[in-house]
Structure 1
Amino acid sequence: MCGRVTIQTPAVEIAREFGLAGIRSAIERPRFNLAPTQLMPVVANDGQRMLDAFRWGLIPSWAKDASIGNKLINARCETVAEKPSFRSALKRKRCLLLVDGFYEWKQSTKPKTPFFFHRKDRKPFAIAGLWEEWTAPDTGEVLRTCCIITTGPNGLMAPIHDRMPVILSKEGQEQWLRPEAMDAAQLQPLLVPCADDFLDSYEVARVVNSPTNDVPACIERLAA
Structure 2
Amino acid sequence: MENILVAGANGTTGKKIVDILNKSQHYNPIAMVRKEDQQAYFTDQNIQTVLGDLEADVNPVFTSPIDRVIFAAGSAGKNVIGVDQEGAKKLIDASKKANIKKFVMLSSMGADKPEEATQLQDYLKAKHNADEYLKNSGLSYSIVRPGTLTNDSQLEMIELEQKLNKHGEISRADVAQTLVQSLEDKTAANATFEIIKGDTSIQKALHKVS
Q: TM-score, normalised by structure 1?
A: 0.30
Highest Rg: 1 or 2?
Answer: 1
Structure with the bigger percentage of helix: 2
User: Taking CA–CA contacts closer than 8 Å with sequence separation of 6 or more, which of the two structures ends up with the larger relative contact order?
Assistant: 1
